[in-house]
Chains A and B, each alone.
Chain A
Amino acid sequence: NAGVTQTPKFQVLKTGQSMTLQCAQDMNHNSMYWYRQDPGMGLRLIYYSASEGTTDKGEVPNGYNVSRLNKREFSLRLESAAPSQTSVYFCASSEHLLNSGNTIYFGEGSWLTVV
């Protein structure tokens, strides 16, 4: 009963380092998302993938890249981490895009600190 699984759960990076957050879902969902959560800002969409083979920018894509590796996996990469990217990152998935009235399910979050 895993749902959406993301790794790592905690990570500390130095400014300029790169890293990849991994996400996998076992619900056979077509659409996947990466959000970031910051105090007082709520959750903001970074990138999403409507279906395997497609990715699109969300509200705050700068400094990030994504890869939809297959239907199950959607990774988020920080090429050169900056302190402004200190945040909690959530991966999520839904059967189809949300404008079809689908429900989005979230992973447990990844706490990233950039020093």
Chain B
Amino acid sequence: AQKVTQAQTEISVVEKEDVTLDCVYETRDTTYYLFWYKQPPSGELVFLIRRNSFDEQNEISGRYSWNFQKSTSSFNFTITASQVVDSAVYFCALSEAHGQAGTALIFGKGTTLSVSS
């Protein structure tokens, strides 16, 4: 069965620290898509990145980077030099090319990141 696990419920860091948010997924599909979303205190869900299962290249966008490893079924998210504005709940999500899960996103429970100044 498809599943997304974010084992870290809450993380607290001080500004300028680096922080990594873990995401482990389960799927039997050979083609799937992984996502990260940010939910700031205002409540909206903001899309951050999508990664296809056939593309294991890591990606960097400013202070954000993502490490996709199929061998360990992980798609981890690192924020470098964290800032207070990074405080939010971060969700990892999965969709599959085949099967019912392809109709929707399967979300992890989220990791709450608190960055203090």
List the interface of chain A (C-beta within 8 A of B): 33, 40-43, 45, 48, 50, 56, 58-59, 88, 90, 92, 97-101, 103-109, 111
Q: For residue B43, which residues in chain A have a CB less than 8 angstroms away from its CB? A: 88, 108-109, 111
Report which of A99, A104, A109 forms a contact with B96, defined as CB distance below 8 A. Answer: A99
Report which of A40, A43, A50 forms a contact with B107, defined as CB distance below 8 A. Answer: A43
Instruction: Tell me whether B85 is interfacial, beta carbon within 8 Å.
Output: no
- B42 closest partner in A (C-beta): A108
Report which of B44, B96, B104, B110 forms a contact with A48, defined as CB distance below 8 A. Answer: B104
Docked-complex contact A101 and B109, CB < 8 angstroms: no
Q: With contacts A56-B103, A101-B52, A108-B43 known, is A42 near B95, CB below 8 A? A: no
Question: Which 6 A/B pairs are nearest by Cβ-Cβ distance?
Answer: A99-B102, A98-B95, A106-B45, A42-B107, A45-B104, A108-B44
Q: For residue A58, which residues in chain B have a CB less than 8 angstroms away from its CB? A: 103-104
What CA separation (Å) do A111 and B43 show in the bound complex?
Answer: 10
What CA separation (Å) do A90 and B91 show in the bound complex?
Answer: 14
Known: A42-B108, A106-B47, A108-B42. 17 other contacts (CB 8 A): A33-B104, A40-B109, A42-B109, A42-B110, A43-B107, A45-B104, A48-B103, A50-B103, A97-B103, A98-B33, A98-B95, A98-B104, A99-B96, A103-B35, A103-B50, A106-B45, A108-B43
